[in-house]
Chains A and B, each alone.
Chain A
Amino acid sequence: MRYIPNTKQDCQAMLQTIGAGSVDELFADVPGPLRLRRALKIPPALAEAELVKRLRALAARNADADRYNSFLGAGCYDHFSPAIIGHLVSRGEFLTAYTPYQPEISQGTLQAGFEYQTLVCQLTGMEVSNASMYEGASATAEAILMAHRITGRTEVVVGRAVHPEYRQVARTYAAQVGLVFREIPFTEAGVTDRDAVTRALGSQTACLVVQYPNFFGGVEELVPLAEAAHAVGALLVVCVAEPIALGLLKSPGECGADLVTGEGQGLGTGMNYGGPALGFLATREQHVRHLPGRLVGQTVDRDGRPGYVLTLATREQHIRREKATSNICTAESLIALMATIYLVSMGPQGLRAVALQNLRKAAYAKGRLGKVPGCGIRFGGPTFNEFVVRVAKKPAAILKHLLKHDIIGGVDLGRFYPDLADCLLLCVTEQKTREEIDALIQALGGVR
């Protein structure tokens, strides 16, 4: 597809073919009072050079991870994006390709989608993945709706250690279907309370939802949680906001998860100021017809050559409206391609190496932070690349002080958890150097 505006001559030729004398005549059916009879109130066009200067000035008002020492995580992670990704996705064949409804002219797009799906299955330990969702929160919401469809039950047991925005979005989606949410507290170890889970699970539970690693960076024990859910006939939904962790942790599939969903942004796609992002959703073969979203299938053409198509379309609303599994009719194909290129470039060993760097650097930071006067590590359990620090001074004041040193000190948890209003959530990825971590420690030591 080309994105070039039409010239006056193009417009004239089109009007002539249509048989209209002018563009105004073409829109004659729009009632008079509704038509705008003046020029748009926008500034005059700028020359390319002037425009670039203007946009640069606007962009300079943002604080980005290149110019600031950022310890932000909480669902959007600062991971390195190898140059090969940008190089390949800016090829026109990928960049401006449309939805592959017509497989005959879309084999490249479809093959890339199929490879993405395959990689998601390998990462999550599941049997089938869709071609992607918008982002982690809505993907989790869709997984919950899927569990409701599969089990026919209406209760959702969800840990408070699941990303607060994921829980909020899930409630928005579920409100339309009348699902009831039961929230489970977290323990002093910083993970979901298993006894509380067992008490909350029952014959009406569609699914148990936990995040892995959870919002506080804690690693949930999935095997007993899966057993507890299955014991009452409920499904285990595991959402993953930080997919780099899967380079090191046991896959949710191996641990008994039925639906694995989450955010793929961390796979070399960049933070993009929060979006576009990359939702993923994977499950077991037996549930494939309940999956929302696009699905790429592998098949053979009439000459027996391998080929790819969008398949199982009866799940989708353009085929069966009231019986569709969702109203989603798209995917984050280009971002999924970036994640695919990242994964095949890094390979399983490369991914594991990146994950280890995250773990080690975070451990270094955690160790040093625990010794800063007025700071303490809030939870006792093991964490991946994020952890919670309890602070003596007000978190907002600390963050303000750190900003003066060009440091973005993480998230003030009081924003989401009133019971953690004296805490900050920090993330340390492979992007952090020892010097940058030491600078954080130094600056914290100087907080008034």
Chain B
Amino acid sequence: MYPAELRYSKEHEWVKVEGTRGRIGLTHHAQSALGDVVFVEVPKVGRAVKQMEAFGVVESVKAVSDVYSPVSGAVVEVNVGLETAPELVNKDCYGAGWLVVVEMASPKELDALMDATAYQAFLASEGH
């Protein structure tokens, strides 16, 4: 449920390091809590993002939530497949349901994020 190779944020996003880039998505807990996702608003390619700054929105049948970037940098890729298949966020949150890829400005920021074990402990402490 929480792949070991990923890093996790307190706002329930994951980031997968791919060289100098970070692929970002929502964790299993996030998609489960949201319910069926009906719409995802992602930024345009080129947009600058800061760590823990909101850059997008996820809308489900019961709620709407901001999505925060776990790292700073510039958006280089967005998952356009989500326009027609937002449910990918629920079905394959670590795979086809990715949101954006960011060219990281300072990889040191990854140290501030949690690993899989810490994230699960964090979820338990929040009562999930």
On A, residues with C-beta under 8 Å from B are 289, 314, 319-320, 323
Contact = CB atoms under 8 A, between A and B. Distances in A.
Interface SS, A side = loop
Which secondary structure dominates where chain B touches chain A? strand
Interface string B29-69: 00000000001010000000000000001010000100000
Contact of A319 (B39, B41, B64): B64
8 contacts: A289-B39, A289-B41, A314-B57, A314-B59, A314-B64, A319-B64, A320-B64, A323-B57
Given A314-B64, A320-B64, A323-B57, 5 more contacts: A289-B39, A289-B41, A314-B57, A314-B59, A319-B64
Contacts of A320: 64
Interface in B62-117: 64
Contacts of B59: 314
Interface residues of B, number: 5
Nearest to A319: B64
A314 B64 CA distance: 7
Contacts of B64: 314, 319-320
Give me the 8 closest cross-chain CB pairs, A-B, nearest first.
Answer: A314-B64, A314-B59, A320-B64, A319-B64, A289-B39, A323-B57, A314-B57, A289-B41
A289 B57 CA distance: 12
Contacts of A289: 39, 41
Nearest to B44: A152
Contacts of A319: 64
A48 B64 CA distance: 53
B117 to A, nearest CB: 35
A289 B59 CA distance: 12
Contacts of B41: 289
A320 B59 CA distance: 11
Nearest to A152: B44
A136 B41 CA distance: 30
A289 B39 CA distance: 10
Interface in B1-49: 39, 41
A320 to B, nearest CB: 6
A315 to B, nearest CB: 10
Nearest to A314: B64
A319 B64 CA distance: 9
A323 B67 CA distance: 14
A57 B53 CA distance: 64
A319 B57 CA distance: 13
Nearest to A320: B64
Contacts of A314: 57, 59, 64
A319 B39 CA distance: 15
A4 B57 CA distance: 46
B107 to A, nearest CB: 30
Nearest to B59: A314
Contacts of A323: 57
Contacts of B57: 314, 323
A42 B41 CA distance: 56
A44 B127 CA distance: 65
A325 to B, nearest CB: 13
A314 B66 CA distance: 12
B45 to A, nearest CB: 14
A323 B58 CA distance: 13
A104 to B, nearest CB: 17
A298 B39 CA distance: 18
A215 to B, nearest CB: 38
A320 B39 CA distance: 15
